[in-house]
Chain A
Amino acid sequence: MSSVIDWEAASNPVKENRAGNIGKAVDRYEGPLKVTGTAPYAYEVAPPSPPAYGVLVSAPIARGRIAAIDIAAAQASPGVLLVWTHANAPAQGPRPARYDFFTPAPRPSLDSDQVHYFGQQVAVVVADTLENATAGAALVNLTFEEDASSVIFHDHYAEGVQPPGESDVEIGDFEAGFAAAPVKIDDVWRSPLQNHCQMEPCATTAWWEGDKLTVHTSIQMVRYAQNSLAETLMISNKNVHLLTRYVGGGFGGKGSFYDDLVLASLAARELRRPVKIAYSRQQMMHGTVHRPATEMRVRLGATADGKLTAMSMMTTTHCDRRGNFTEHASNFARNLYAAPNRLTGHRLVRLDLPVASAMRAPGEASGTLSLEVAMDELAEKLGMDPVELRIRNEPPTDPETGKPFSIRQLVRCMREGAQTFGWDKRQPTPGQVRDGRWLVGLGMAAAIRGNFLLPAKASFTVDADGVITVKQGMTDIGTGTYTVLAQIAAETLGVPLGDVRVEIGDSELPPAPGSGGQFGAATAGSAALDAGMNLRKAIAEIAISDPASPLFGGPSEQITFQDGVIAIANRSERLADLIRRNRPDGLTADGEVRPAADASQWSSHTYGAHYVEVGVDTVTGEVRTRRMLGVFAAGRILNWKTARSQLTGGMIWGVGSALTEGNSVDPHHGSLINQDLAGYLVPVQADIGELDAVMLDEVDDKANPMGIKGVGELGISGAGAAVANAIYNACGVRVRDYPITPDKLIAALEAQGR
C-alpha cells in the first residue's frame, strides 16, 4: 500500500527534472492534427465498410407517455433502414433505480413509453445517408399523453429534501454564534441551469466483427463506459472495444454516455453494418446533462475586527426525478475560512427537467458565486479590505476537520495577485472611477478546489529505436493529457520528447479512470511515472547482465538516463542499441498508482485568487471585463502552457457564469429556451480584455508521487464572484441572481432611483 510519507521521501525523475521537460511550455502532442483538421473525432473515424447514419427523435413534452406510434411513413421514406421506438427496440440491460458516477450500470435507450423530460430521446431512424435519416426522423409520428409537470425550480424551493445519505454538517452552534455576532450578512444568491456546450457533440461510430463490437465515441471515462455499455448490451465487456482518441471538450458532460453510443451499437448489430450517430446542438442541450440551478443562502457573523464567528451556507438545487445528483455548492465552504460555529448542507428538489450532473468544478463553480460575494459584502460592512478580511480568517488547519493542510498558499496567492494587479488602486467606495461611459471597478475572490487521486495503471514500452510508447486507457478531453504523459515519459526515461509516442483513449490499454474532477493529470501521470520507473529498472537489469553492453556488471542503482543514452559512471551506450541487441521486439513495463492509505490525514486542495477589473455602463446595464488576473497554487506544474490554458479557460468560463450563461426554462413546455450557441451565450473574444494566470512555484509532495495537483477546475472557481464584486465596486449595485445581465442591473439601478 502506498503512503504519503513514502511519496514525500522518495525522489524521482519528475521531481529532479534534470532534462527540464517538466513544467516547460511544451506544445500539444496532438496539436498539429487538431489545427489541420486531421484528428479523427469519433464521428469522423472511418469504419471498415460504408456506414449507415442514425438520427435521434426527441420528445416535445416534459412529462407523460407515448400513447401511439406510427412509424410507417418513416419506414417507407427513401433510404431508411431501421426505425426504433420503445415498442420495437432490442432488449437491453435493465435501468438501475439510481445511477452513481463510479459503478458501471446499464444505460438502456428507448426502454419505456415514459417521457421524463423535454428532449428525451424517443426514437431513432437509421438510413443510408444522414439526409435520408433526417428526413425519415421528421416522419416518425408519435402521439403523447402529457401529464402535469413541475419544471420551474423557483416554484419548488420549499420542497427541497436532504439528499439521500447526507446530513447537514454543523460545528459548534451556528444559530447561537450568528445571533451573537455584532456584524452580519444574510443573503440569498441564485445561479441558473447551465450547459456544457462542448464544441464536439456526443457522437459514436460503431461496428461489429462477429460478436465483437468496436465503438469510437466521445467520452471522458473509458473503462466505465466500456463496462456500462457491455451491461447495456448484455454482452461480456471483453467483446466491447471502446475508443475515444480525441474528445472535443467534456467538462463533465461526457462523464457518462448517451443514446448515440447505445443505439449506434444496437443498430450496427441489427443492420450488420457500421452506424454513426451524433447529437445535434439542440439535442446536446436537453438530451445529455446540465449543471442544475441553485439557490444559496449564506450567513456570516463576524466581530468588528473581522473575525468570522459564524458561517453558514445552505444550497438548494435540483435534479431529475430519477436522479440523485446533488450540486454540492456548499461543500467548499467547509474548507475555506476559519469560524468556530459553522453550518453547511444541501437540499434537493426533484423536477421534470433533463438530467442534472457534473459540470466543470461541480460545487465550487456555483458555490463560490455566493460565499465569495458574501465575504465582499462583509468586508464592506466592516470597512475592511476584502483581501485583509480573508487573511484574518485564514485557518491554521482545516477549519472543520482540524487536519493539517498538505500545503496551503491561499494567502500568498492573494498577496501576489494584489501586488501584480494593482489592488491598492481600488477605491473602497463604489462608483468613484469613470472612463468615458464606463464606471470602472475592481473585485477579487478566493479560489479553492479539491484535489483527488484515483487508482490507475499504465504501461511503457521501449522499442529497438529507443522510442518510448506510453499506453493508457486515459482520455485527453482537450486538457493536454497526451502532452503531459509524453513529458513524464521523456523525463523519466531520459529520451528526447520527439522519441515518445502516446496511445490513450482505448479500452484495451491499461485502465485509468479518465478525465474529471481535475484528477486526470495527477492520476494518469502518477501511474505513468510508476511504469517509467519500472521500465528503468528492467532496462538496468538487462544492461548489467548483457556482456555486450559497456554497462555490464555495473551497479544498476547508479544507472542514468539522458539524451537517449544510458550510463553508469563513464560507461555508456545508446538505449536503442541495448534494446536492439537484447529485446528487438521491445521491452514493456507496467505501472500503477493507488491512493495512499494515509492520504485522508491531510486536507489537500488547490487554491487561487482572482482579480478583475470591469466597466459598467450604468445607462445600459452592460458590463464588460477589462482585466483579469488569477494567481494559483496547484502543486508542481507539468506544462506551463497547457496548465495556463486550463486556468485561463476556467477564468473565462467564470466570466460567462457571472455575466451571460444560463438556460432559462420554459414554464409551459419544460424546455430550455436557448438551445443553440446563438442563444446560449458564452464569452467571446471581445468579452475578455487582458487576461493572465500566474502559477506559483509549489510542490505538494503529499498529493501524489510527482507533487502535482489538478488545474482543470480551479480557474473557474471564484472567477465569477470576482466579476460580481468588481461590478459592485464599479457602480454600487449588487445583483444576486446570476447571470448579471443588463435587464437585472437596470432594475437594481432603478431601485436605487438611478
Chain B
Amino acid sequence: MRPFTYERATDAAGAVTSAAATPGSKFIAGGTNLLDLMKLEIEQPAHLIDVARLPLAAIEDAQDGGLRIGAMVTNSHLAADARVRARYPVLTQAIVAGGSGQLRNKATTGGNLLQRTRCAYFYDTAKPCNKRQPGSGCGALEGLNRNSAIFGGSHACIATHPSDMAVALSALGASVETLSPHGEARAFDLDDLHRLPGETPQIETHLIAGELITAVVLPPPPSGGQVYRKVRDRASYAAGLASIAVAGDQVALGAVAHKPWRARLAEAALAAGGSPTEAIAAELAGASENGRNGFKISLVARLGPVAIAEARNNGSAA
C-alpha cells in the first residue's frame, strides 16, 4: 500500500470541495473494495476523503411513492428495510446474494455501484490490463476469460461489472443523484451511470472526477412480480457467473457486461407479446463470446425464461 493522507468529511459540500482541491484524491465509504485494491497497489490514491459518516444514510419515502436511498445506507440496512422487502423484493434478493454478511454490513449503496471489476488480470499487477494500465493490453481477451462479458465488450476490455445490487436497481429503473465537484446537483438514470469499455476501459462511469453520489432514487415499483436469480460456483460468497433481475416487464442481466445490462431488447420482445424464451433470445442475439465465457450465453438462455416466469408467478401470487 502506498502512503496517503486522510480526512473525514462532515458534509457533502465539504467532501466535493476537498476532492476538487486535492489531486489524486478518492472517496472512501465502506472501504471493502477500495482498501483491497490499495493493498495490491491497483488503486494508489494520494488522499482519501472518508465519506462514510456523511448524513446520507437514510431511506426516505419519495412523494411519487418511490424511495430515496442515501448513498451511505449500508447494503445490510437496505436489504433489511421493510419497505424494500415489501415493494422491491428483487433489490433485497440481489443484495443478499452478494458478498458475505460482514461485507454487506460495511458496503454502502454508493460504493457498491462504483466497485471495480473482479477480472483476475485486473487484480494481478504482473499482467497486462488496459483498465489498470491503459495501453498495456488485455490479459483476459486471449486468456482465462470464463468470467468475462458477453455484451458490450471491446477489443480493449471484456471485463464485467460485478455488482448484484446494481442489476436489481437497473431493472427497477432507478436513478442516481450526485453532487459534482463544482457543487452542482446532478442526476443520471442508473443505466447511464456506467459506460461500456470502448477504447478507454479505465473510465468506468459518466461521473466526473471528484463527483459524489448522494442518493439512489427508486421510482414506484413496476406492476408485476419481481425476482433476482444469481448463478454462482458455490452457494454463497462468490461472484456471479450470470444473474438476472426481473421487475414486472423490466429485465436486467448481471455479470455479463461492463455495466448492469438492462435487457432492452428482451423488454421490447415481451412488450410485443413475445414469450420469455423469445425475449431472452432476442437479447442474446447481440451477445458474443471470447472462448471460455461462451457458456454464459447458454446459461442466460436457460436462466432468463425461468426467472421471468418465476417473477410472473410471484406477481400473481402477491
- Contact assessment for A60 and B234 in the assembled complex, using a CB-CB cutoff below 8 Å: no
Q: Is A639 interfacial (CB-CB < 8 Å)?
A: no
- Contact assessment for B2 and A660 in the assembled complex, using a CB-CB cutoff below 8 Å: no
A267 to chain B, nearest CB (A): 22
Contacts of B306 in A (CB 8 A): 437, 619
Query: Which residue of the partner chain, among A619, A660, A667, contacts B234 with CB atoms under 8 Å?
Result: A660
- Contact assessment for B236 and A686 in the assembled complex, using a CB-CB cutoff below 8 Å: yes
- Contact assessment for B231 and A673 in the assembled complex, using a CB-CB cutoff below 8 Å: no
Given A620-B302, A674-B120, A743-B146, the answer on whether A683 and B234 have CB atoms closer than 8 Å is yes
Task: Mark contacts of B217-249 with chain A using CB atoms, 8 A cut-off: 1 yes-contact digit, 0 otherwise.
Answer: 000000000000101111111110100000000
Q: Is B64 interfacial (CB-CB < 8 Å)?
A: no
- Contact assessment for A622 and B142 in the assembled complex, using a CB-CB cutoff below 8 Å: no
Given A619-B302, A741-B233, the answer on whether A666 and B239 have CB atoms closer than 8 Å is no
Task: Mark contacts of B97-141 with chain A using CB atoms, 8 A cut-off: 1 yes-contact digit, 0 otherwise.
Answer: 000000000000000000000101101101100000000000100
Contacts of B241 in A (CB 8 A): 742-743
- Contact assessment for A742 and B143 in the assembled complex, using a CB-CB cutoff below 8 Å: no
Interface 9-residue window, one of A130-138, A195-203, A268-276, A693-701: A130-138
Q: Is B188 interfacial (CB-CB < 8 Å)?
A: no
- Contact assessment for A620 and B303 in the assembled complex, using a CB-CB cutoff below 8 Å: yes
Q: Is A571 interfacial (CB-CB < 8 Å)?
A: no
Query: Which residue of the partner chain, among B3, B143, B238, B302, contacts A746 with CB atoms under 8 Å?
Result: B302
Q: Which of A725-743 contact B (CB under 8 A)?
A: 741-743
Contacts of B123 in A (CB 8 A): 675-676, 679
Query: Which residue of the partner chain, among A58, A620, A664, contacts B144 with CB atoms under 8 Å?
Result: A664
Q: Is B41 interfacial (CB-CB < 8 Å)?
A: yes
Residue of A nearest to B229 (CB): A620
Contacts of A131 in B (CB 8 A): 1, 3
CA A750 to CA B1, docked complex, whole Å = 47
Query: Which residue of the partner chain, among B124, B142, B144, B299, contacts A742 with CB atoms under 8 Å?
Result: B299
- Contact assessment for A135 and B303 in the assembled complex, using a CB-CB cutoff below 8 Å: no
A621 to chain B, nearest CB (A): 7
Task: Mark contacts of B191-215 with chain A using CB atoms, 8 A cut-off: 1 yes-contact digit, 0 otherwise.
Answer: 0000000000000000000000000
Q: Is A1 interfacial (CB-CB < 8 Å)?
A: no
Contacts of A666 in B (CB 8 A): 127, 139, 143-144
B298 to chain A, nearest CB (A): 5
- Contact assessment for B237 and A620 in the assembled complex, using a CB-CB cutoff below 8 Å: no
Query: Which residue of the partner chain, among B118, B233, B237, B298, contacts A750 with CB atoms under 8 Å?
Result: B298
Q: Which of B268-309 contact A (CB under 8 A)?
A: 292, 295, 298-299, 302-303, 306
- Contact assessment for A669 and B3 in the assembled complex, using a CB-CB cutoff below 8 Å: no
Query: Which residue of the partner chain, among B2, B229, B234, contacts A687 with CB atoms under 8 Å?
Result: B234
Task: Mark contacts of A682-714 with chain B using CB atoms, 8 A cut-off: 1 yes-contact digit, 0 otherwise.
Answer: 011111000000000000000000000000000
A143 to chain B, nearest CB (A): 14
- Contact assessment for A746 and B299 in the assembled complex, using a CB-CB cutoff below 8 Å: yes
B contact residues, total (Cβ < 8 Å):
34
Residue of B nearest to A618 (CB): B302
Query: Which residue of the partner chain, among B2, B146, B231, B292, contacts A135 with CB atoms under 8 Å?
Result: B2
Query: Which residue of the partner chain, among B124, B143, B239, contacts A668 with CB atoms under 8 Å?
Result: B143
Q: Is A107 interfacial (CB-CB < 8 Å)?
A: no
Contacts of A681 in B (CB 8 A): 233-234, 238
Q: Is A747 interfacial (CB-CB < 8 Å)?
A: yes
Q: Is A659 interfacial (CB-CB < 8 Å)?
A: yes
- Contact assessment for B234 and A669 in the assembled complex, using a CB-CB cutoff below 8 Å: no
B254 to chain A, nearest CB (A): 14
B143 to chain A, nearest CB (A): 5
- Contact assessment for A138 and B234 in the assembled complex, using a CB-CB cutoff below 8 Å: no
Contacts of A675 in B (CB 8 A): 120, 123-124
Given A666-B143, A679-B120, the answer on whether A742 and B239 have CB atoms closer than 8 Å is no
A contact residues, total (Cβ < 8 Å):
40
- Contact assessment for A667 and B3 in the assembled complex, using a CB-CB cutoff below 8 Å: no
Q: Is A671 interfacial (CB-CB < 8 Å)?
A: yes
Task: Mark contacts of B142-153 with chain A using CB atoms, 8 A cut-off: 1 yes-contact digit, 0 otherwise.
Answer: 111010000000
CA A746 to CA B143, docked complex, whole Å = 22
- Contact assessment for A746 and B295 in the assembled complex, using a CB-CB cutoff below 8 Å: yes
Q: Is A678 interfacial (CB-CB < 8 Å)?
A: yes
The secondary structure that dominates the A interface is: loop
Contacts of B231 in A (CB 8 A): 620-622, 742
- Contact assessment for A673 and B303 in the assembled complex, using a CB-CB cutoff below 8 Å: no
- Contact assessment for B126 and A60 in the assembled complex, using a CB-CB cutoff below 8 Å: yes
Query: Which residue of the partner chain, among A135, A686, A743, contacts B299 with CB atoms under 8 Å?
Result: A743
B34 to chain A, nearest CB (A): 15
Given A686-B235, A742-B241, the answer on whether A620 and B299 have CB atoms closer than 8 Å is yes
A736 to chain B, nearest CB (A): 17
- Contact assessment for A746 and B298 in the assembled complex, using a CB-CB cutoff below 8 Å: yes
Contacts of B118 in A (CB 8 A): 678-679
B161 to chain A, nearest CB (A): 16
Query: Which residue of the partner chain, among B142, B237, B239, contacts A684 with CB atoms under 8 Å?
Result: B237
CA A659 to CA B299, docked complex, whole Å = 17
Residue of B nearest to A750 (CB): B298
Given A131-B3, A743-B241, A746-B302, the answer on whether A669 and B126 have CB atoms closer than 8 Å is yes
CA A624 to CA B3, docked complex, whole Å = 44
Given A134-B1, A666-B143, A678-B118, the answer on whether A671 and B126 have CB atoms closer than 8 Å is yes
Given A135-B2, A668-B142, A668-B143, the answer on whether A673 and B234 have CB atoms closer than 8 Å is no
- Contact assessment for A138 and B41 in the assembled complex, using a CB-CB cutoff below 8 Å: yes
Residue of A nearest to B100 (CB): A684
Contacts of B146 in A (CB 8 A): 664, 743
Contacts of A58 in B (CB 8 A): 126
Contacts of B1 in A (CB 8 A): 131, 134
CA A681 to CA B302, docked complex, whole Å = 24
A324 to chain B, nearest CB (A): 28
Contacts of B229 in A (CB 8 A): 620
A688 to chain B, nearest CB (A): 9
Contacts of A684 in B (CB 8 A): 234-237
Task: Mark contacts of B1-38 with chain A using CB atoms, 8 A cut-off: 1 yes-contact digit, 0 otherwise.
Answer: 11100000000000000000000000000000000000
Chain A CB count within 10 A is highest, among B118, B237, B302, for B302
Residue of A nearest to B142 (CB): A668
Residue of A nearest to B146 (CB): A743
CA A667 to CA B141, docked complex, whole Å = 12
- Contact assessment for B235 and A673 in the assembled complex, using a CB-CB cutoff below 8 Å: no
Q: Which of A622-643 contact B (CB under 8 A)?
A: 622, 624
Contacts of A686 in B (CB 8 A): 234-237
Query: Which residue of the partner chain, among B126, B143, B235, B295, contacts A624 with CB atoms under 8 Å?
Result: B235
Contacts of A138 in B (CB 8 A): 41
- Contact assessment for B239 and A678 in the assembled complex, using a CB-CB cutoff below 8 Å: yes
Contacts of A679 in B (CB 8 A): 118, 120, 123
A641 to chain B, nearest CB (A): 26
Contacts of A671 in B (CB 8 A): 124, 126-127
CA A506 to CA B121, docked complex, whole Å = 42
Contacts of B235 in A (CB 8 A): 624, 684, 686-687
Given A675-B123, A683-B234, the answer on whether A621 and B239 have CB atoms closer than 8 Å is no
CA A669 to CA B295, docked complex, whole Å = 24
Q: Which of A30-86 contact B (CB under 8 A)?
A: 58, 60
Contacts of B121 in A (CB 8 A): 673
Contacts of B292 in A (CB 8 A): 743
Contacts of A134 in B (CB 8 A): 1
Contacts of B127 in A (CB 8 A): 666, 669, 671
> With A282-B124, A619-B302, A678-B239 given, can you name 16 additional A-B contacts, CB distance below 8 Å?
A135-B2, A620-B231, A620-B299, A621-B299, A622-B231, A664-B146, A666-B139, A673-B144, A679-B123, A684-B235, A684-B236, A686-B234, A686-B237, A746-B298, A746-B299, A746-B302
Query: Can you pick out 23 interface pairs between chain A and chain B where the beta carbons lie within 8 Å of each other?
Result: A134-B1, A437-B306, A624-B235, A659-B234, A660-B233, A660-B234, A664-B146, A666-B127, A666-B139, A667-B142, A668-B139, A669-B126, A671-B124, A681-B233, A681-B234, A681-B238, A686-B234, A741-B233, A742-B231, A742-B295, A743-B241, A743-B292, A750-B298
Closest 6 CB pairs of A and B: A60-B126, A743-B295, A686-B235, A686-B236, A620-B231, A673-B144
